[in-house]
Structure 1
Amino acid sequence: MKHTLSLILLLAFSCGVKAQCQLITSQQTISYGSLSAMERQSAGGNAITLPEKQLTLNVMCDKPQRIRLFFGSSLPQGGNFALGEKGEMKFTAMKARVDDRDVLLAPVTSAHGELTAAEASQVDINLNDGIAFVSGDELTGKTMSVTLAINANIKSAPITDRVKYRGNLQVRVEAQ
């Protein structure tokens, strides 16, 4: 009898903005498929690293805005993005664009706070923190996009158990 493990990442999006901005994602759900009992048994109780997945977030506004994106979850665990009870997800923001030009990113902790960290082409995302689009100074634009790399791992459950691991990502847009 074959037992499988299904892994699903659900994405939720919200916009808390004054101007008319719309957030569109390249996909609403990410599935890692199933792991066979043999794959789970070969892990021997160690963490199983899942293949990297990517998704793109696009923000389109009716007029140029300063945009910051904030990332949360309704299923956090220990201050991290959880994937089930024993798994975790790590998100890295990269490939940022504002109005069709490549830009850098800076981590931010609030919608109105000053930039305190250096800009970079990639930024690791912490639970409940965000990113700003920068090129020297913080940028404004009508369209912004960023790609998120999702790296996840799970701790294998007993091979006779059928388990679904769920996680989610909530993205909030803050525009000024």
Structure 2
Amino acid sequence: MVNTRRNGHPNGQDTPDFEAMIANALVNVPPNLSAELTTRIIDNIRNGDDSSNGHGNSGGAPPTGMHVWIERFTKLKPLSFQSAATPTEAEDWITHMEKLFKVLGCADEFKTQLATFKLEGDALSWLKAYLLAKGENFADTCTWNTFRDIFYKQYFPFSEQQRYKREYEAIY
């Protein structure tokens, strides 16, 4: 019998021993195929790839469905954005989003949708009004660079950017 629990987990809970479970399941598979399958399955579990449910992708390819991106994105606990008391708060939020996109390896086509998913309150109202003025198709075709530009125009105007630039240049 294979032990499917590990004792002494750092948070005091027992966790499944996936490697032992996989080894037990692959007992009757030819040895050369067994090693390859075991490696692939363990890598997929470690990387959070759930190809077996039809939602993920095999081979470590980035996901193509928005629902998979939303799931991975929300696991990183992205900050919401409602409004900015200062322009630097807006810049900090964009920087935060870009760090998450980099960690996720997120394709450009999903970045705007993921970021706007975290807009709330005044920022969400602003976005709705902007999209209404631009037309229905704009939301589907808006790239991350375009979104970032219109976001900065709203929350970090060019005049403020120039003022900050002058202040920082005076310091150096």
State the TM-score, normalizing by the size of structure 1: 0.29
* Structure with greater proportional strand content: 1
Of structures 1 and 2, the one with the larger relative CO (CA 8 A, separation 6+) is 1
* Structure with greater proportional helix content: 2
Larger Rg over CA atoms:
2
State the TM-score, normalizing by the size of structure 2: 0.29
